[in-house]
């Protein structure tokens, strides 16, 4: 869906409409290819998947450092203050932000899930989990604050692509593309993580007898749970068929589920 901004032809050949959003055939084909590639990377082994993640992470951090430097240098605190809408109460406005944000921070769970693959000590696992949450939280906090610094946040809130459009409007189209790149790479790293985490959870449940035993099988050659990865691919493609409107609903409500958990 992000790629359709660059390639408008992707939003052609409508198939159906679900939750007030149209499902397009080219988008589904990109979904199919991308999901298959990510599944294959994970099936090949953790070394390839981990190396791919590291490259994407390095690019995200490099761009992510530039955005706040420019935002805080060129922008003004007047664009940020007051930080709440005058026609609402600060508490529900804060919760409305925190609940979806919880979804963004679930990556910390991957550290514990991959403990067996990494052969880490319990103490090291705890340290890595805390460090991951702190780094991720700080990254989001700084980048979003810079986006509210560079132009009035009330205007940013009305934009279709948030920080991406904010830097474009502020006169930094290249940084807007940089923020766009972070979005794309962030989704790709999340995609890779999704396959790793979901397949490992299926593996653990199957070992405990709470899931079919076929998902407890691990490839002798690669050491990866291939059956669980293939089932994750099927689930991913099934959700992709539901379209953008449904996926955004799951994203927004996902923070509520995580908060309850």
Name the more confident of 106 and 180: 180
Domain count within the chain: 1
CB atoms within 10 A of CB 107: 16
Cβ burial of 39 (10 Å; 0-12, 13-18, 19+) is buried
Residue 107's pLDDT is: 67
Which three-class secondary structure state does DSSP give residue 15?
Answer: strand
For residues 138-164, give the mean pLDDT: 90
Spatial distance between the Cα atoms of 37 and 188, rounded to a whole number of angstroms? 11
- pLDDT band for position 166 (50/70/90)? very high
For residues 102-106, give the mean pLDDT: 71
Name the more confident of 134 and 152: 152
Residue 19's pLDDT is: 87
CA distances from 257 to 59, 99, 100, 102, 254 (A): 31, 9, 10, 9, 5
pTM (predicted TM-score) = 0.78
The pLDDT tens digits for 54-92 are 899 899 999 989 999 999 999 999 999 998 888 888 998
Domain that residue 188 falls in = 3-260
The pLDDT tens digits for 184-210 are 998 888 888 889 888 988 999 999 999
Is 116's pLDDT higher than 80? Answer: no
For residues 251-259, give the mean pLDDT: 77
The per-residue pLDDT of the chain, averaged, comes to 88
Spatial distance between the Cα atoms of 41 and 192, rounded to a whole number of angstroms? 8
Do 146 and 68 form a contact (C-beta atoms < 8 A)?
A: yes
Residue 165's pLDDT is: 93
Is 168's pLDDT higher than 90? Answer: yes
For residues 10-14, give the mean pLDDT: 92
223 sits in the region (left: phi over 0; alpha: psi -120 to 50; else beta) called left
Name the more confident of 125 and 15: 15
Do 170 and 150 form a contact (C-beta atoms < 8 A)?
A: yes
Residue 211's pLDDT is: 94
Residue 55's pLDDT is: 93
The pLDDT tens digits for 215-236 are 999 988 888 899 999 999 999 8
Do 10 and 27 form a contact (C-beta atoms < 8 A)?
A: yes
């Amino acid at each position: 869906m992000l790629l359709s901004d660059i390639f408008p032809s992707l939003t052609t050949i409508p198939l159906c409409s679900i939750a007030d959003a149209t499902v397009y055939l080219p988008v589904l084909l990109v979904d199919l290819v991308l999901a298959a590639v990510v599944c294959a990377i994970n099936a090949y082994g953790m070394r390839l998947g981990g190396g791919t993640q590291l490259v994407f992470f390095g690019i995200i951090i490099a761009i992510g450092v530039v955005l706040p430097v420019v935002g805080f240098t060129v922008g003004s605190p007047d664009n940020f203050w007051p930080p709440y809408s005058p026609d609402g109460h600060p508490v529900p406005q804060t919760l409305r932000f925190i609940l979806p944000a919880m979804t963004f921070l679930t990556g910390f769970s991957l550290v514990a899930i991959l403990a067996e693959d990494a052969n880490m000590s319990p103490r090291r696992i705890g340290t890595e989990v805390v460090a991951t949450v702190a780094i991720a939280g700080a990254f989001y906090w700084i980048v979003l604050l810079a986006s509210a610094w560079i132009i009035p946040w009330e205007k940013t809130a009305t934009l279709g692509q948030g920080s991406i459009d904010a830097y474009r409007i502020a006169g930094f189209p290249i940084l807007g593309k940089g923020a766009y790149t972070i979005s794309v790479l962030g989704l790709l790293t999340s995609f890779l993580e999704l396959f790793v985490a979901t397949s490992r959870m299926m593996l653990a449940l199957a070992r405990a007898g709470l899931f079919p035993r076929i998902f407890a099988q691990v490839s002798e050659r690669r050491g990866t749970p291939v059956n669980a990865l293939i089932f994750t691919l099927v689930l991913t493609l099934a959700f992709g068929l539901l379209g953008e409107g449904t996926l955004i609903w799951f994203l927004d409500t996902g923070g509520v589920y995580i908060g309850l958990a």
